[in-house]
Amino acid sequence: MPTRLSMRLLCHVRCIGLAALAIASACGSPPAEKAPAEKAPAQNPPAPGAEKGVVAVIGTGTLAGALGPALGAQGYRVIYGSRDPGRDVVRALVQRSGPKATAVTQPEAAAQAPVVVLAVPGEVVVDVAGTLGDLSGKVVIDVSGGDKKLAPDGYQELTSDSAKAERIQARHPTMRVVRINLPNIVYFMDPLVTKTRATVFVAGNDPTARETVANMMFDLGVDPWDAGPLRFARLFDAFNTLANIPGQQRRAEGYQVVMMPTVPFSCFFDMVDYFKFGEPAELKQLPKFPRREPAPTCEEWMRRLPPMGPPPQ
């Protein structure tokens, strides 16, 4: 049963949440980080010879051309999977992806790495996932958006009955499929290009797989946030649909998902008990997501909150 004090705090937190939403929508984006003097490295450069891990990047196109070299620069060993790995264009990509990068066929690449990124066109991603051999236990990253369906008004329909990542997981239950809301790939080339790091939501049914992907994204200089189980990937499809709107309207502007830390409910009351939202079954294995700045403590939040009015009657 909430106490009078917790009711006051709850009301207060709600008010702050609403105010923050209003400010965010009025301003368009949260305060920018300090401008870098020059192009910022994604993270700390890796120690010479250190290897972060092995990642198979399936495909050698636009996404692979941004992600692979960025992973290589952070100390990952990149193995490209290509239908034709002998092409000059693939060799050139390997050349700029770190000293240990290679290119082999798609199934060969997937067999050699514990983490497999499906950097192939969204239209074929579900089928391609089934051509890579036995990926049992491997972390398989899907980045593809939702199905495209045009509405009569010229915008896209919201297609949220299932995300492609869920379809891949359903067909291949032993894979550990993780979906990220892929930011504009320019953030992999320069994470501070807009002076604010992009948020990358990470959804997947296996919490340790989410943690693996979160650490990889953190190394690449974007900010990973835990998005829970894979079905929440359907929300990312909706974000993608939104992100297309300025382009469809031919505006000379774009926007990107950026989340900011806010007042944590759990500093004030038990949300699970109070709202009856349910307790996640994975709570004991909750992934640890890396953070660039430590989260403020509950005491710090208490100090920051402005004085409160009387409790609701």
Ligand X SMILES: NC(=O)c1ccc[n+]([C@@H]2O[C@H](COP(=O)([O-])OP(=O)(O)OC[C@H]3O[C@@H](n4cnc5c(N)ncnc54)[C@H](OP(=O)(O)O)[C@@H]3O)[C@@H](O)[C@H]2O)c1
Chain residues in the site for ligand X (CB under 6 A): 59-64, 82-84, 90, 119-122, 124, 128, 143-145, 182, 184-185
Size of the chain, expressed as the number of residues it contains: 313
State in angstroms the smallest separation of the CB of 63 from ligand X. 3
- Beta-carbon contacts of 99 under 8 Å, excluding residues fewer than 6 positions away, are none
DSSP assignment, residue 312?
Answer: P
- Please report how close the Cβ of residue 72 comes to ligand X at its closest, in angstroms: 17
CB of 143 to ligand X, least distance (A): 5
Secondary structure (3-state) at 80: strand
Q: Are residues 66 and 188 in contact, defined by beta-carbon separation less than 8 angstroms? A: yes
SS3 content of the chain, % helix, strand, coil (to 5): 35, 15, 50
Measured from the CB atom, is 10 or 128 closer to ligand X? 128
Tokens of 144: 């593809």
Smaller CB separation from ligand X, 66 or 263: 66
- For ligand X, the closer CB: 61 or 261: 61
Please identify the residue of the shown chain whose CB is closest to the bound ligand X. 61
- 9 vs 56 by CB, closer to ligand X: 56
Q: Is 29 helix (H, G, I), strand (E, B) or coil?
A: coil
Measured at the CA of 248, the angle between CA 243 and CA 249, to 5 degrees, comes to 105
3-state secondary structure of 206: coil
Residue number with CB closer to ligand X (127 or 279):
127
- Phi and psi torsions of 139, nearest 5°: -85, 120
> Read out DSSP for 279-306?
--TTGGG------SSPPPPHHHHHHHSP
* Cβ closest to ligand X, residue 83 vs residue 149: 83
Least distance (Å) between residue 145 CB and ligand X? 6
Least distance (Å) between residue 192 CB and ligand X: 17
> What is d(CA 30, CA 110) in angstroms, rounded to the nearest whole number?
39
What is the closest distance, in whole angstroms, from the C-beta atom of residue 142 to ligand X in the complex?
8
If the CB atoms of residues 108 and 282 are measured against ligand X, the closer one turns out to be 108
Write down the least CB distance from residue 167 to ligand X, Å.
14
Residue 79's DSSP bridge partners are 56, 102
Of 73 and 110, which CB lies nearer to ligand X in the complex structure? 110
Least distance from C-beta 304 to ligand X, angstroms?
35
CA atoms of 259 and 20, how far apart (whole Å): 11
Please report which residue ranges of 29-75 form alpha helices under DSSP H.
62-73
